Amino acid sequence: MLDIQLLRKDLSAAIAGLKRRGFDFDEAAFRSFEAERKRLQSRTEELQAKRNSLSKQVGILKGKGEDASAVLAEGAGLGEELKSNESALAANQENLNAFLRVIPNIPRPEVPEGASSDDNVEVRRWGTPRTFDFAVKDHVDVGAGIGLDFDTGAKLAGARFPVMKGGIARLHRALAQFMLATQTEEHGYTEVYVPYMVTGECADGVSSLAKFEDQLFKIEGRDLYLIPTAEYPVTNFVRDSIVEAKDLPLKFAAHSPCFRSEAGSHGKDTRGMIRNHQFDKVEIVQIVRPEDAAAAHEELTGHAEAILRKLELPYRVMLLCTGDTGFSSAKTYDIEVWLPGQNAYREISSCSNFEAFQARRMQARYRNEKGKIEPVNTINGSGLAVGRSLVAVLENYQNADGSVTVPKALVPYMGGATVIQAGSPSARG
C-alpha cells in the first residue's frame, strides 16, 4: 500500500500520481478518516495515560499498605469512556486500513500515460521471425501430433486444463528445467521449493485480496488459496521480518504450477495453451534496497530475456502504460514472444518493480547502514511462463512433416533428442 506519511504530507502529489493510472482517490473520505482518527486517538491516549497513572498510584499505596479508595474513586467512569473510545478508534483504523489497501501503487514518472495495452510502448525488439515455406499451424495443431491433448484434460477437470503425453510432456519438463538451471547457475538466484497454497494474509501482501479474490481458487472451508504465481509464496518469505542490509539483495527462483480462475475471461483465448487454469512458471524474485530497485528491475528483465535468446525465439519488450500496469506495480515490462500461428507477439513474461508497495503491505523491512528500519523493495518477473514458452517453441520450431525441432539449448534436457517426431504420443524422435 501507499505510505500513509506520504498521503499526510503531500496528498496532492499522490492524488495526481494515481490519476495518471485512472484511479480517482476519494480525498473527502480520506480527510474525514484522518480528522476522526486524530480526534479519537488523542482522546483515547489521554484516557489511557490517566488510567495508567491512577493504577500506578493504587499499586504504590497498596504496596505501602495504605488506603487507595480515594484514587479508585477518581477513576470511576473512566473505564467506560475509555472502552468506547478505544473501540471507535479501532473501527476507524480498520476502515482507514481497508480504504488504503485497495488503492493501487503510483506509477513511476517515466511510465507512459495510457488507458489500455494499446498505449504500451515498445522499448526493444530481438530476433527476426522465421519465414516458412509451408502453411504454418498454430500450437494446438502442431501439439496434437506430439501428445497435446485437451479432450482428456476436459474430461478430468474441464476446459483450460491441458494434458500432455510423451514427447511434448518431456519438452515441457525440459523447458522448466532449462529455465531454472539458467536462473540459478548463470544469474545467481537461489532455487526454492514452495507451498502451492498460501493464506489470505499472504495473498493480500502481494496484491489486494479484496479486489482480486475472484481470480484465485480458494480451498473451501480453509483460509488457503492456490497460488496464481510463485510470487505469492516467495515474496512472502520476508513478510513480518526485518532483514539486515548486508543480506540484500535476496534473489530467489522457483518453478511452480500456477492456478488462475480466469473469471471474466470467458471466450478469451479459449483455444490452446495460452490461457489455462493451470500452468507452470519459473518465477524470479528479488528483495532489494530502495536505491537498487530500478537497476535490479532492468537486470531482472534481462534475466527473463536471456531465456528467449538462448531458445532463439524472437521477442519484444513493452513498457506498460499507466492504465495497463498492475495494481501493486510502479513499473512493468512485458516481454512478448513471436507466435507465427497467431502472427503476433504475445506476453510470455511480466517483470515488475513494486518498490515498497508490497513490502509495506506485508511489513517486510530491513535495517539500513544507519540502523534505520525501512521497507525493502520487491521486484519479480516470470523467467518464464513454461506453458506459453512451449507454445512458442511448437510454433516457431515446427516442421512441414509435423515434427518439431528441439531448440539447441534444450537438447541436453531432452536426453540428446534433436527432434520430436509426429505420430505416436510417446515419440521421442
Does position 43 bind RNA by CB under 7 A? no
Q: Residue 376 in contact with residue 242, Cβ under 8 Å?
A: no
Read off the C-alpha cell for 106: 503510483
Contact between 54 and RNA per CB under 7 A: yes
Q: Which of 12, 24, 28, 63 touches RNA by CB under 7 A?
A: 63
Cα 22 to its chain centre, rounded Å, is 21
| In the complex, least distance from residue 90 CB atom to RNA, rounded to whole angstroms | 7
Cα separation, 266 vs 250, whole angstroms: 38
Using CB under 7 A as the binding rule, whether residue 58 contacts RNA is answered as: yes
Beta bridge partners of 317: 124, 335
Choose, by CB under 7 A, the member of 10, 26, 27, 45 that binds RNA. Answer: 45
What cell does 40 get? Answer: 479519537
- Give the per-residue contact string, 88-127, with RNA (x = CB under 7 A; - = no): --x-------------------------------------
Site for RNA contains 31 (CB under 7 A) = no
The answer to whether 105 and 327 are in contact (CB under 8 A) is yes
Give the distance, in angstroms, between the CA of residue 375 and the centroid of all CA atoms in the same chain: 17
Chain-centroid distance of CA 343 in Å reads 29
Could you tell me which residues are beta bridge partners of residue 345?
338
Q: Is residue 162 within 8 Å of residue 270, measured between CB atoms? A: no
Q: Does 156 bind RNA (CB under 7 A)?
A: no
Among residues 9, 16, 27, 55, the one that binds RNA under rule CB under 7 A? 55
388 in catalytic set = yes
72 contacts RNA (rule: CB under 7 A): yes
62 belongs to the binding site for RNA (CB under 7 A): yes
Considering the candidates 86, 191, 312, 347, report the single residue annotated as catalytic.
347
Write down the catalytic residue from 108, 305, 388, 389: 388
- Residue 317, classed as helix, strand or coil, is strand
- Nearest Cα to Cα of residue 273 among 113, 140, 97: 140
347 is catalytic: yes
How many Cβ atoms from other residues are within 10 Å of residue 275's Cβ? 16
Q: Distance (Å, rounded) from C-alpha 362 to C-alpha 345?
A: 35
Distance (Å, rounded) from C-alpha 210 to C-alpha 109?
A: 27
Residue 130 appears among annotated catalytic residues: no
Query: From the list 11, 36, 75, 312, which residue makes contact with RNA (rule: CB under 7 A)?
Result: 75
What are phi and psi for residue 61, nearest 5 degrees?
-60, -45
| Per-residue interface string for the shown chain with RNA, residues 367-406, x marking contact by CB under 7 A | x---x-x---------------------------------
Q: Which is nearer to RNA, 103 or 175 (CB)?
A: 103
Selected binder of RNA within 4, 192, 306, 411 (CB under 7 A): 4
Among 19, 39, 43, 51, which residue sits at the site for RNA (rule: CB under 7 A)? 51
> C-alpha angle with apex 69: 68 to 72, nearest 5 degrees?
90
Candidates 11, 36, 41, 217; binder of RNA (CB under 7 A) is 41
Catalytic residues: 260, 275, 347, 350, 388
Binding site for RNA (CB under 7 A): 4-5, 8, 38, 41-42, 44-46, 48-49, 51-56, 58-59, 62-63, 72, 75, 79, 90, 242, 365, 367, 371, 373
